[in-house]
A = this chain, B = another copy of it.
Amino acid sequence: MSSTPRSTLGRLSERARTDRADLYAVLDAGLVCHLGIVLDGAPVVLPTGYGRDGDTLYLHGSTGASTLRAAATGIPVCVTVTHLDGVVYARSVFHHSMNYRSAVVHGTARLVTDEQQRLDGLRALVEQLAPGSWTHARLPDRKELAATTVLALDLAEASVKVRTGPPGDDAEDVANPAYWAGVLPVRMVWGEAEPAPDLAPGTPTPDHVSARPRPGVHAAHEG
């Protein structure tokens, strides 16, 4: 990843990861990103889906969405993906922390107009949200495509931060047996699939839904 002042960590730089594989892993394990743009001088941060194809991050939305319209005009954006992995309980409240993985991508989103690239982007978006749906579900028709804005963002300027492990307590606090310290892990899990009320009774839930690997973990890291 390129190193610019805003993508270089000013604090706790031991938490920074610089491998592109780490960036891909954090992005690929996520379902929601937080998209930041500047509107009238003020920041706006909205949750939205995303997809990755190589070194391109795709965003999409309705052609009527003002945020997407603004982002499509070539203004700077920031896309952040965060996985919370645990709450770090220290002996002191000061050293309480979180275990997490996060990726922050800076850049300028561009409106994708090439029809093939629009489809590539939509496929990446759909497969990030719902792997297998691009094959299983009905693909977008001309009217649906016309109603959809697709934006692309190069993964050129990005930073990854990861915290793992136990709390870092002060020695005098460690010596005091009154305090508990450790990590309470947290993870995302799927519940049981809920068929739509208008689905024909007896319709089996397909494997790409019922056997979906749990979110928040990149497949290669699942072990």
Chain A residues within CB distance 8 Å of chain B: 6, 10-11, 31-32, 34-47, 49, 62, 64-66, 76-80, 82, 84, 86-87, 89-94, 96, 98, 100, 102, 104, 106, 122, 126, 129-130, 133-134, 136-141, 144, 148, 166-167, 169, 173-174, 176-177, 179-200, 203-206, 209, 212, 215
Q: Across the interface, which residues of B come within 8 angstroms of A180, CB to CB?
A: 136, 195, 199, 203-206, 209
Contact flag A96-B130 (CB < 8 Å), given A192-B185, A196-B182: yes
* Complex contact A209–B182 (CB within 8 A): yes
Determine the chain B residues whose CB is within 8 A of the CB of A42 once the complex forms.
6, 38, 76, 78, 106
- Residues of chain B within 8 A of A198, CB atoms compared: 166, 169, 174, 181
Q: Closest Cβ of chain B: how far from A110's Cβ, in Å?
A: 16
- Of the candidates B47, B91, B129, which one forms a contact with A82 in the assembled complex, judged by CB atoms under 8 Å apart? B47
Q: Given A44-B78, A49-B98, decide whether A191 and B187 contact each other with a Cβ distance below 8 A.
A: yes
A93 touches B39 (CB 8 A): no
- B196 contacts A186, C-beta separation under 8 Å: no
- Known A34-B82, A169-B198; further 20 A-B contacts with Cβ < 8 A: A11-B62, A11-B64, A11-B66, A31-B98, A32-B100, A38-B42, A43-B78, A46-B80, A86-B191, A86-B194, A89-B137, A89-B209, A92-B138, A93-B138, A166-B194, A174-B198, A183-B194, A184-B190, A185-B193, A186-B189
